[in-house]
Amino acid sequence: MNPGSGTLVINILSEGKAETYEGIYQCTARNERGAAISNNIVVRPSRSPLWTKEKLEPMTLQNGQPLVLPCRPPIGLPPPIIFWMDNSFQRLPQSERVSQGLNGDLYFSNVLPEDTREDYICYARFNHTQTIQQKQPISVKVISVDDLNDTIAANLSDTEFYGGKSSGERPPTFLTPEGNASNKEELRGNTLSLECIAEGLPTPIIHWRKEDGTLPANRTFYKNFRKTLQIIHVSEADSGKYQCIAKNALGVVHHTIAVTVKAAPYWIMAPRNLVLSPGEDGSLICRANGNPKPKISWLTNGVPIEIAPDDPSRKIDGDTIIFSTIQERSSAVYQCNASNEYGYLLANAFVNVLAEPPRILTSANTLYQVIANRPALLDCVFFGSPLPTIEWFKGAKGSALREDIYVLHENGTLEIPVAQKDSTGTYTCVARNKLGMAKNEVQLEIKDPTMIIKQPEYAVVQRGGTVTFECKVKHDPTLVPTVRWLKDNSELPNEDRFTVNKDHLVIADVIDHDGGTYTCVANTTLDNVSASAMLSVVAPTPTPAPIYDVPNPPFDLELTNHLDKSVQLSWTPGDNNNSPITKFIIEYEDSMHDAGLWHHLTEVPGTQTTTQLQLSPYVNYSFRVVAVNSIGSSLPSEASEQYLTKAAEPDKNPTNVEGLGSEPDNLVITWKPLSGFESNGPGLQYKVSWRQKDGDDDWTSVVVANVSKYIVSGTPTFVPYLIKVQALNDVGFAPEPAAVMGHSGEDLPMVAPGNVRVNVVNSTLAEVHWDPVPLKSIRGHLQGYRIYYWKTQSTSKRSKRHLEKKILTFQGSKTHGMLPGLEPFSHYKLNVRVVNGKGEGPASPDRVFTTPEGVPSAPSSLKIINPTLDSLTLEWEPPSHPNGILTEYTLKYQPINSTHELGPLVDIKIPANKTRWTLKNLNFSTRYKFYFYAQTSAGSGSQITEEAVTTVDEGKMAGIPPDVGAGKVQAIKPRIRNLTAAAAETSATVSWEYEGPEHVTFYIEYGVVGSKEDWRKEIVNGSRSYFGLKGLMPGTAYKVRVGAEGDSGFVSAEDVFETGPAMASRQVDIATQGWFIGLMCAVALLILILLIVCFIRRNKGGKYPVKEKEDAHADPEIQPMKEDDGTFGEYSDAEYQRPSKKGSRTPSERTVDKAGSDDSLVDYGEGVNGQFNEDGSFIGQYSGKKEKEPAEGNESSEAPSPVNAMNSFV
């Protein structure tokens, strides 16, 4: 044994005979923790014994008789490789008639005179010992019937006369295996080899099939002229009966081989090492399979566990060892042994009872550098027992990082899916178990990505000229990039003509070879980018290019060498027109079946003008040839003479064979018929066969004409059938087809689902469970279950509308489903029916359930009447959908002063039976904003808002024009002001300010001033106060009108603008001039400064549109509520969120698109084009669809209001 390695070395040359060391070896490794043992290692010496001496008599046979030449090689280890040769060491030719069997014997299906020879020699090659053994030569003489009478006496005197059968034609019989059936066993994972060798005259052809199954396509191979069937990597599924069929013109013979696949033990779950801390529980699982089922036994430290020292924390349960409250002394190496008669498996598992506080193995203060917008992975390799829990923190006092933003891997790694600049910082990994804690800090830096801001461009240069490619790189200032150039993805030529500086590649004295693709590659330690450009080199003085065209058509087509299934076609090519012919396409016409249609047959290289064409039987062929070059295809040649091939039996069967019943008592068998080209002969018909799959009946067959359907009547309902459709014509039958399975007709189900249960999840959702219907009662293919449900009445008894039934269908064998979109506080009934391909079964008894209360909708209306100096009266209508019993109303209001600042918020509770309320002790001449919503026991509903002004003190109205009024201002009158149009050459941006009630529709009309053409009209999406006009004519005066339509009427405003003049074309592109780029940069900087100043001034004061004020003054305490649990939802747009100075920026609930929250049954069940998942959850969004607004012109740079952000969200 080699020292320190455990390897055992046996030197047979110096330490005795190999037989001395034959046996089973096993290695054991021990230390203070336990002992591990290896699998059994079997050592056997190779053997190559000599051939047994025997006297071989010469054999004389009549022409056509069968013959078997035995080999019977000596038994060696490993078994020898057998082959037959002659005295000249040449392999004897083999064919369908003469072949070598798996046992080494040489089989002749029938002998011929050319089989006569005296040197049939069987050789056995022992590869391991590199020796070849030879059997004595066998002499065979084949004589004809005429010669037999003259020679039989002499042959009988000194030789053996082999056989005595007639030499005439005869049906097949099997030489091996014998009889009608045999058995074969093979081990799982090995290659299964089945052999059938038949004799007969003419020579039989062998076919294979598997009864009640198909041969695995990717694992099946045929050897020895299809006499040997091989299936590699066999498994238990390959067990079954295999049938070999020998067939010649005089008959057919079958042999069935019953194959059983046994299996040595193999792992399903091998035991794994286990690390436990004292007091913990655990288990070792050892699961193996095989045929027969292997026996599982356990060892500990190499000793059978039955005689090992007792361990009270250990319990053995078959293939599992269970540890309960384990102690440190229980550490050991356990072995699991799985054995059966075919093999042996052994696996070691170390149970290590360890108490260790956490340790972090990642180096402290490791620096990670990541490119922005890429994933960042921060490692925290840890160890401890019990297994520590891992938490990550950012910064010194940060909270634990959550998995909704970060990904916490089981190995401790923290993943930031998309690292941003603000991800930079210190991250702390903390590992804890009951024995202690460990932590480690790592640093993360986010770098800017490397970019090529000026890419090389396509260039054309004359031979001998100079060309320059530019490649300007922008990178993170802390990273050092390296820039290199490639030509055609290879290094640049090492020539002085190529000059590379910081941003340029210069190529001087360009030659033709310089043409190609040049790539600039910028690398940093973290990323790399590249950009490419083509260089084309042209001649200084171009010469006229030759005229290139498609070839002229070939001609002089000639057919020679006519055979049954082939013919030779030759032709003469036409002119290639300066482009070499790359290939010829041969097409054919079948004037018998498809006259006038040309089909692709084959293609040959452009250097070939003769080819042998493989043809199909019973086709009247004409051929033509098309030449192809790099320009295109020529016209077809003239057609060749016609050639009619001989008829033959079909070589294929119909496809797409199916069996489906149209009525409960029939079976409709359909198939795709063969085309006339595939019929191979006249009189095409089909043999249709069928029998019940699970019965013992014989096949019933009928021959039908060239149709595609046959109906079998009088069948039992929904029974599986095996079906075959075989083609035949006047010459014979096609090969035996494979059987397919079909079913007779379905009938309606007989039984309703039982034990229907309803679980109300919330006010709009219920879950239904039912017991499945027995398959025999379904009487067809189970399509699913269908729930009919309808509302009997609303609990609040407010709904008087017609109640209709709704349907949800659940696919497959599901036994539960969800009913969404229910109305709160309502009574419902439902029943369940099973559905098959024929239709629905009977309904289950109706089940009644009631939905609980929900939150109400917003009040239907809110009006403010009778304003006085210090009071306002509010009138409203109750919610259209109370969804329960209203408990009270909540009214909140607050004043808005002249600077649009919000005053204190007042909260009032109003009884549910009130529809009118008067507010007193208000400030005179003051604008108030009101928020109003209803409540049920389930929570608060959606709010409705309104604004109004108390009347003006008449004592302070001196000098105010009469039209201002003496004070009954009930609502704000709408108006549009500050209408402006910023025009460019072919576009304009129109903006305006709107004051007035919400829920208005804006539109824009515009046209050329003085033109009689109709104005164009555009609808503005949402509540935006700007719109972009495109496609305008340069230098033209336009008139624009902005209108607003709503419940309070119609208002509009007009303006006139003129587009800029058209820019004259220039010979020089000034966009590439340096002075122009500098000027544009200066203008852009100046505009940026002006925008910043305007933004600051706007925030300090200015006009405040009513629409924007409503949004700004929304009640901060009232938020939209989630329908299911009554908690407050949050609608926001993170991109535009900013803190407000006063009050809340939350928009009024009335600005939400109602279509965005309507429930739709389309999203849930197939009865309304929806689907459910297996667990009853629904597929699709439980909301309305989102539509992205199209960009319109140069939109305003002002940040959108919260209302716009809300509309974008909805």
Nearest to 221 by CA among 212, 208, 211: 208
Q: Which pair of structure tokens corresponds to residue 307?
A: 């005689």
If DSSP codes are grouped into helix, strand and coil, which group holds residue 725?
Answer: strand
Distance of alpha carbon 415 from alpha carbon 603, whole angstroms: 56
β-strands 906-911, 720-728 pairing: unpaired
The secondary structure of 624-647 as a DSSP string is: EEEEEESS-BPPPPPP---EEPPP
Distance between alpha carbon 390 and the CA centroid of its chain, in Å? Answer: 33
Phi first, then psi: give them for residue 418, nearest 5 degrees.
Answer: -130, 100
Q: Which pair of structure tokens corresponds to residue 409?
A: 């891997």
Nearest to 616 by CA among 640, 647, 591: 647
Please list the residues that pair with 836 across neighbouring strands: 782
Residue 870, classified by CB atoms within 10 Å of its CB into exposed (0-12), middle (13-18) or buried (19+), is middle
Average pLDDT per consecutive 10 residues, the chain (1210 residues; last block may be shorter): 77 72 84 83 80 83 92 85 89 92 93 92 86 87 73 48 59 92 93 94 93 89 94 93 94 94 92 89 92 92 88 89 87 92 91 89 92 93 90 82 86 92 91 91 93 93 92 92 93 92 92 93 93 92 76 94 92 92 94 90 94 93 95 94 92 93 92 90 93 88 92 92 94 93 92 94 94 91 94 60 80 92 92 93 93 92 88 92 92 84 89 91 87 92 89 47 38 72 86 78 85 82 79 87 74 79 52 78 91 81 42 41 39 38 37 39 39 39 38 38 32
User: Cα dist. 1043→816, 1003, 1085 in Å?
Assistant: 54, 5, 36
Nearest to 790 by CA among 779, 801, 782: 801
Distance of alpha carbon 850 from alpha carbon 830, whole angstroms: 11
What pLDDT sits at residue 144?
81
Residue with tokens 């599982």: 296
- Spell out the SS3 assignment of 87-116: CCCCECCCCCCEEECCCCCEEECCCCHHHC
Distance of alpha carbon 1149 from alpha carbon 932, whole angstroms: 11
Residue with tokens 């075959």: 724
User: Cα dist. 79→41, 84, 1108 in Å?
Assistant: 20, 16, 95
Distance of alpha carbon 266 from alpha carbon 261, whole angstroms: 14
Q: Which pair of structure tokens corresponds to residue 900?
A: 């649009």
Q: Is the peptide bond before 79 cis (omega within 30 degrees of 0)?
A: no
Query: What sign has the CA pseudo-torsion 1099, 1100, 1103, 1106?
Result: positive
Residue 939 in contact with residue 1126, Cβ under 8 Å?
Answer: yes
Q: Which pair of structure tokens corresponds to residue 1016?
A: 């164009």
Distance between alpha carbon 508 and the CA centroid of its chain, in Å? Answer: 52
Distance of alpha carbon 1119 from alpha carbon 1126, whole angstroms: 11
What pLDDT sits at residue 539?
87
Residue 862 in contact with residue 946, Cβ under 8 Å?
Answer: yes
Please list the residues that pair with 728 across neighbouring strands: 685, 733
User: Cα dist. 749→662, 777, 845 in Å?
Assistant: 16, 6, 16
Amino acid at 567: V
If DSSP codes are grouped into helix, strand and coil, which group holds residue 581?
Answer: strand
What pLDDT sits at residue 1192?
38
Residue 1157, classified by CB atoms within 10 Å of its CB into exposed (0-12), middle (13-18) or buried (19+), is middle
What pLDDT sits at residue 972?
54
The secondary structure of 349-401 as a DSSP string is: EEEEE--EEEEE-SPTTEEEEEETTS-EEE---EEEESPPEEEEEESSSPPBP
In this structure, what DSSP letter does residue 512 have? G
Q: First and final CA of the chain: distance in angstroms?
A: 78
Q: Which pair of structure tokens corresponds to residue 809?
A: 């269908």
User: Cα dist. 1012→157, 857, 1163 in Å?
Assistant: 128, 50, 50
In this structure, what DSSP letter does residue 77 have? B
β-strands 1026-1029, 988-995 pairing: antiparallel
Distance of alpha carbon 883 from alpha carbon 798, whole angstroms: 10
- Cα–Cα–Cα angle for 1045, 1051, 1052, nearest 5°? 110
Please list the residues that pair with 604 across neighbouring strands: 584
Residue 1040 in contact with residue 999, Cβ under 8 Å?
Answer: no
Distance of alpha carbon 932 from alpha carbon 913, whole angstroms: 15
> In 10 A of CB 1019, how many CB atoms?
9
In this structure, what DSSP letter does residue 179 have? S
Nearest to 1165 by CA among 881, 829, 805, 883: 805
Task: Give me the numbers of helices (H) and strands (E) for the chain, helices first please.
Answer: 5, 86
Nearest to 397 by CA among 356, 365, 370, 425: 425
Nearest to 334 by CA among 294, 299, 286: 299
Please list the residues that pair with 1039 across neighbouring strands: 1007, 1056
Residue with tokens 């909260």: 907
Q: Is the peptide bond before 292 cis (omega within 30 degrees of 0)?
A: yes
The secondary structure of 6-72 as a DSSP string is: ------TTTS--GGGG-EEE--EEEETTEEEEPPPEEE---B-PPPPP-----EEEETT--EEE---
Residue 172, classified by CB atoms within 10 Å of its CB into exposed (0-12), middle (13-18) or buried (19+), is buried
Q: What pTM, to 2 d.p., does this model score?
A: 0.41
